[in-house]
Structure 1
Amino acid sequence: MPVSPRPLRKLGFLTIGLFDPVDPAAGHESTLRIIELGERLGFDSAWLRHRHLQFGISSPIAMMAAASQRTSRIEIGTAVTPLGWENPLRLAEDLATVDLLAGGRINPGLSVGEPMHYDTVKDELYPDSADLEDFGYARVERFARMIAGEPVREFSGRQGVVEEFSDRVEPHSPGLRRRLWYGAGSSRSAVWAGANGFNLLSSSVIFPDQDQEPDFARIQQAQILAYREAAAASSAAPGPARVSQGLVVIPTDSASSDQREKHQRYVDARVPRTRSPQGPKGMLFAPDLIGTSAEIAEQLYAHAGFQEVDEVAFALPFSFDHEDYVQILTDIAGKLGPALGWAPAGVGQAVR
C-alpha cells in the first residue's frame, strides 16, 4: 500500500438517520446510539443529513442537542441544512443555543437553492411569500452575519422594569462562525464558499462545468483547488479554510457473509447512476467504495479528490440496519482510518 503524502487528520461519518414511520422514535434512538458509538471509537465528527417530508431526520438541530448531552468530545454537524426551508434568524438562534450546550462542538453545514419539489409544498411553507423568497447566496450570507453577531436592528437596551433587548441574535456563540461549512457541488459554489469565509463540504455528488470531462475524482480535485485559491485570496475567512470529503465507503473486514452480500447488493444497485452524467445539469455520482479496508485505502490513495484533503466524513449507506452501521463504523475506525494515517481520539469504553 502506498504511503499517504497527506495523512488523514480528522475522520468523521455521515448518516441520514433513517426511521420507520410506524415507530420513528426507534430510528432516532438508533442514530443517537451510533453517534455515541462514534465517540467511543475515536471518530472526530458525526454529521447528520437534513431531510424534510421524508423518513430521515427532519430536525438535526434537535438531534444535535440530544447527542451533545450524551457525548463529550465528538463534533456534530449537518451535511447539509438546505436554507430554503429555514428562517435564517431563527436558525441562527437555535444553532447558537445548541453550540453553547455542546461546548462549541457544532459544525453547521449549509446549502442554498429552491427546496426540493418546491411546487408541492410552497403554499404550506411560504403561503404569503412563495414567489418572493430569495433562495440564493444572499440567504446564507445573511445567516452568517447573524451567527457572527452583527447587528440585525438598531433597537436595543432596557424597556420597562425587566425587559432587556439586544440588537444581535442571542445567544451568541463565539467561534461558531468559523465552523460554518458550505456544501458545494460546482466550481462556482466552491469558489463562492472560499471567497466568503466558509469551510468546504465536498460530497459524492458534483456538477461539472460544461467543458469538463465526466471524471468525478478529477472534477472534485479541481473544485477543491479552486476553493483553496479563492479562500487564500479572501479577507472574509474567520479561520483556516478546511475541506472535508464525503464519499460512501463500506468496509467488509468484520462483516458476516450475509452482511457482505447485503452490502454488495446495495452498491450494485447504485452503480448504473455513476456511469454517466444524470439530469439536465449533468450531475455526477461517485462510485461507492466497498471491500476490505486495505482495498478501500488503495482506491482512496488513487482518488484525485481524496489526495487534496486531510478530513473526511464518510457517508453511511441510507437503508442499512443498526448492526450494519456498528460493523461499518468499527471497521472504519479500527482498520480503514489507521490505513489512511489517522489515529483515534479519546477512545473509551467497549462497544455495546
Structure 2
Amino acid sequence: MPREGEPLNKLGFLTIGRFAENDPRAGHLETLNIIERAERLGFDSVWLRDRHLQFGISSPVVMLAAAAVRTSRIELGTAVIPLGLENPLRLAEDLATVDLLSGGRLNPGVSVGTPMRYDDFKAALYPDSHDVEDFSKRRVIRLLDCLRGEPVSDFEGTVGIEVFSRRVQPHAPGLVDRVWYGGGRDSAEWAARNGLNYLTSSVVTIEGTHSRDFATIQGEHIDAYLGQVPDPSSARVSQGLVVIPTDSAIPDQVRRYRAYAESRRERTLSPQGPRGVLFSPDYVGTSAELAEQLYAHAGFRRASEVAFALPFSFEPDDYEQIVEDLAGALGPALGWTPKTA
C-alpha cells in the first residue's frame, strides 16, 4: 500500500483510444503505438476503455490481440468491458485467445448493468430478447465459469474428422485469476467474495456512506473489498484517477491541461442523480506536487497499483508528454521503478 516513503508497486495508465470518424485506422494505430511506447518506458500495465457507438475503442480485446504480438512484457487490461453487450461464452473464447498470444499478460476488467443508452439500440443488439436479457452479476459468473473451464456443452467427442470439447477452447490456465471487477461498495464486497480483483475509477457513489469526500469514499470501498478477501496482503486493487504531470509540458500545454480540469470541476462539487454519483477532481501539476496530493489521498494509500486515466480530448503530442512524465517523473517521485524486458 503506497504511503509516503513506501514505493508504488505497479504503474499503468488507461486510454480511451480515440479516433476520427473519417480516419479510424489512424487513431487505432496511435493507440497501439502508445502501448509499445509504454513498454519501452517500463510501465507495468496499459488499459483500454470500452466505448460503443462512440469514437473510442469498441473492441478492446481485438486491439489487445494486436498489442500482444507487438509487446513482450507489459500487462494488457480492459477497464472495463460492459458485459451487457457481450455473450460470456464468446467473450471467453476471445479473452483466452489473447491471453495465450500475450503469454499470460491479459487482465480483463468487466462490469454489469443495463448498457448505457440501451433503449436506443436494444432492438439492433438483441432483436428477439432485448426485454428479457439478464444484466445482473450472473453474467460475470457465466464468464468466470467459461474461463475456469467448466463444461458448456453436453457433447465431447469426434464427429467425422472434427473433434469437439465440452469446455471453451482455447483454455488459458490462470486467466480466471486475472479478471477484474469495477463498481462501488457492494460490488467491491461481491468481487472479493467471488475471487475477482478490484478496479476503482474516478467515479464513486455515496450510497452506504455519510461522506461527501471522493477520496474518503474510494478508500471506504477499497477497505470493504480488502475486508472480504482471504489474504489482503496479496489482493490486487487498482486505483484510477485522471492525473496529468506537467514536468516537461510547454506553457501552452499547461494552460490547456488546467483549463480542461477546471471545465470538469463543477461536477466534482456535489453528488449527482438518484444514486449520488460523485466525480473525482482531475489532478494537474508537477510530479512533486502530484506525489504530495496522492500520498494524502485515502484511495491511493490503500491501492496496490494504479492505472491513471489519460484525458479524453488531448492531442497526440500531449499524450506523449504525459506518458513520458508519468514514467520519468511521477513514477520515481512515488518510489516506482521502471520495468525492463
State the TM bucket, normalised to the shorter chain: over 0.9
In the other structure, the counterpart of 1:120 is: 120
In the other structure, the counterpart of 1:223 is: 221
Separation in 1, partners of 2:304, 2:128? 45
Matching residue within 328, 339, 349 for 2:333: 339
Q: 1:153 offset after TM fit, Å?
A: 2.3
Partner SS state of residue 230, structure 1: coil
Q: 1:5 offset after TM fit, Å?
A: 5.2
Q: 1:100 offset after TM fit, Å?
A: 0.5
Q: 1:47 offset after TM fit, Å?
A: 0.1
Asked whether the equivalents of residues 19 and 56 of structure 1 are also in contact (C-alpha less than 8 Å), the reply is yes
Partner SS state of residue 300, structure 1: helix
Q: 1:126 offset after TM fit, Å?
A: 0.5
Q: 1:241 offset after TM fit, Å?
A: 2.5
Asked whether the equivalents of residues 50 and 81 of structure 1 are also in contact (C-alpha less than 8 Å), the reply is yes
Separation in 1, partners of 2:56, 2:3? 38
What are the Cα deviations for residues 79-137 of structure 1, in whole angstroms up to 9, with x where unaligned? 00000000100000001001101111110000000000111010000010001100000
Asked whether the equivalents of residues 3 and 301 of structure 2 are also in contact (C-alpha less than 8 Å), the reply is no
After TM superposition, the structure 1 = structure 2 runs for residues 144-183 of structure 1, keeping only pairs within 5 Å, are 144-160=144-160, 162-183=161-182
Asked whether the equivalents of residues 206 and 284 of structure 1 are also in contact (C-alpha less than 8 Å), the reply is yes
- Misfit runs of 4+, over 4 Å: none
Q: 1:41 offset after TM fit, Å?
A: 0.5
Label 1:33 to 1:233 Cα distance change in 2 as closer, same or farther (>3 A): closer
Taking structure 2 as the reference length, what is the TM-score of the superposition?
0.97
After TM superposition, the structure 1 = structure 2 runs for residues 241-256 of structure 1, keeping only pairs within 5 Å, are 241-256=235-250
In the other structure, the counterpart of 1:327 is: 321
Q: Does 1:261 align with 2:259?
A: no
What are the Cα deviations for residues 240-275 of structure 1, in whole angstroms up to 9, with x where unaligned? 421000110000000011111111111110100000
What are the Cα deviations for residues 7-32 of structure 1, in whole angstroms up to 9, with x where unaligned? 21100000000111011111111111
Asked whether the equivalents of residues 65 and 101 of structure 2 are also in contact (C-alpha less than 8 Å), the reply is yes
In the other structure, the counterpart of 2:17 is: 17
In the other structure, the counterpart of 1:316 is: 310
Label 1:3 to 1:195 Cα distance change in 2 as closer, same or farther (>3 A): closer
Partner SS state of residue 79, structure 1: strand
Label 1:305 to 1:324 Cα distance change in 2 as closer, same or farther (>3 A): same
Gaps of 5+ in 1: 348-352
One-letter amino acid of the structure 2 residue matched with residue 219 of structure 1: I
Q: Does 1:75 align with 2:44?
A: no
Q: 1:279 offset after TM fit, Å?
A: 1.5
In the other structure, the counterpart of 1:58 is: 58
Gaps of 5+ in 2: none
Asked whether the equivalents of residues 209 and 217 of structure 2 are also in contact (C-alpha less than 8 Å), the reply is no
Asked whether the equivalents of residues 10 and 304 of structure 2 are also in contact (C-alpha less than 8 Å), the reply is yes
Percent identity of the aligned residues?
A: 62
Separation in 2, partners of 1:210, 1:175? 34
Q: Does 1:195 align with 2:189?
A: no
Separation in 1, partners of 2:11, 2:340? 13
Asked whether the equivalents of residues 181 and 198 of structure 1 are also in contact (C-alpha less than 8 Å), the reply is yes
Taking structure 1 as the reference length, what is the TM-score of the superposition?
0.94
Separation in 2, partners of 1:199, 1:212? 26
Label 1:3 to 1:109 Cα distance change in 2 as closer, same or farther (>3 A): closer
CA-atom RMSD, angstroms? 1.5
Separation in 1, partners of 2:217, 2:258? 26
Moved more, 78-87 or 149-158: 149-158
Separation in 2, partners of 1:61, 1:100? 13
Matching residue within 290, 298, 308 for 1:304: 298
Aligned length: 340
Q: 1:211 offset after TM fit, Å?
A: 4.0
Separation in 2, partners of 1:53, 1:300? 34
Separation in 2, partners of 1:3, 1:110? 28
One-letter amino acid of the structure 1 residue matched with residue 56 of structure 2: G
One-letter amino acid of the structure 2 residue matched with residue 329 of structure 1: V
What are the Cα deviations for residues 162-205 of structure 1, in whole angstroms up to 9, with x where unaligned? 11100000000011011000012x11111000000000001110
One-letter amino acid of the structure 2 residue matched with residue 163 of structure 1: E
